[in-house]
Amino acid sequence: MELIDFILHIDQHLQVFLQDYGMWVYAILFLIIFIETGLVVMPFLPGDSLLFATGMLAAQFPESLNVWYVMLLLFVAAVLGDTLNYTIGKEIGMRIVNFKILGKQPVKEEHIHKTHNFYEKYGSKTIVIARFVPIIRTLAPFVAGIGRMNYATFLTFNVVGGFIWVFGITLCGYFLGNIPIIKDNFSKVVLLIIFISILPIIFSIIKEKLNTKNKTLS
């Protein structure tokens, strides 16, 4: 429940962070993005909503949070995070997939399967597209590592995807976040962002079920 509250009211929590920690908020934001993209067992951390709220906060308090500095910092965090995740997947990927804590797998096979489906459909571009899809965002570089994608190819899509994701969503928050209807209904905006983000997963599940049904009928 605390995580849900944090995600839905992340604008308020970030404002508290800014008031309590000052310049250290840059490090906090860096760590959240780096951990979400870099550790395959942490796919539930807020990404899109955090970037939007960061841009919104930078517009409200430009003297405390410089939008260009924070975007550059979070871009580096996103690229480094995906690079770490790729390396983990390449070196010890299958051991992590099969690893269990109290009888449960931190990395669920169904999520790995959905990520594989993304790769089958979009190829290397998955690294860019996945930036905007929760869970898949964290698993895509990990699966790329397991599949030993060419590192130069991975790095290219990693940098392009990280740039579009961080700068695009943060600037949306910066320019749109202070519009009254958005500012006053931020939790609903977060839910809308999450819904739009998971649409590719929903479409993928529906398509998979329809294909299975058609095969059964035939």
Domain ranges of the chain: 2-217
First to last CA, the chain: 45
Q: Is the pLDDT of residue 101 over 60?
A: no
How high is the pLDDT of residue 13?
Answer: 78
CA distances from 47 to 9, 27, 116 (A): 13, 15, 21
Q: Which of the residue ranges 30-34, 67-71, 214-218 would you say has the lowest mean pLDDT?
A: 214-218
Q: Is the pLDDT of residue 123 over 80?
A: no
Q: Is the pLDDT of residue 11 over 60?
A: yes
Going by pLDDT thresholds of 50, 70 and 90, the confidence category of residue 201 is: low
Q: Is 0.85 topped by the overall pTM?
A: no
Q: Is the pLDDT of residue 132 over 80?
A: yes
> What is the mean predicted confidence (pLDDT) over 75-104?
81
Q: What is the DSSP letter of 177?
A: T
Nearest alpha carbon to residue 146 among 122, 104, 118, 116: 116
> What is the mean predicted confidence (pLDDT) over 174-203?
78
Give the H or E element holding residue 38: helix 25-38
Contacts 24+ apart (CB under 8 A), 180-187: 183/56, 186/9, 186/11, 186/53, 186/56, 187/8, 187/9
In sequence order, the β-bridge partners of residue 101 are 104
CA distances from 21 to 13, 14, 101, 112, 132 (A): 12, 10, 34, 37, 29
Q: Any idea which residue has 């390396």 for tokens?
A: 87
CB atoms within 10 A of CB 63: 5
Q: What is the DSSP letter of 104?
A: B
Percent of the chain whose pLDDT exceeds 90: 26
Q: Is the pLDDT of residue 77 over 90?
A: yes
In sequence order, the β-bridge partners of residue 104 are 101
Cβ distance 144 to 86 under 8 Å?
yes
How high is the pLDDT of residue 171?
Answer: 94
Q: Which of the residue ranges 46-50, 93-97, 136-140, 190-194 would you say has the lowest mean pLDDT?
A: 93-97
> What is the mean predicted confidence (pLDDT) over 171-177?
89
How high is the pLDDT of residue 42?
Answer: 66
Give the H or E element holding residue 137: helix 136-146
> What is the mean predicted confidence (pLDDT) over 169-178?
89
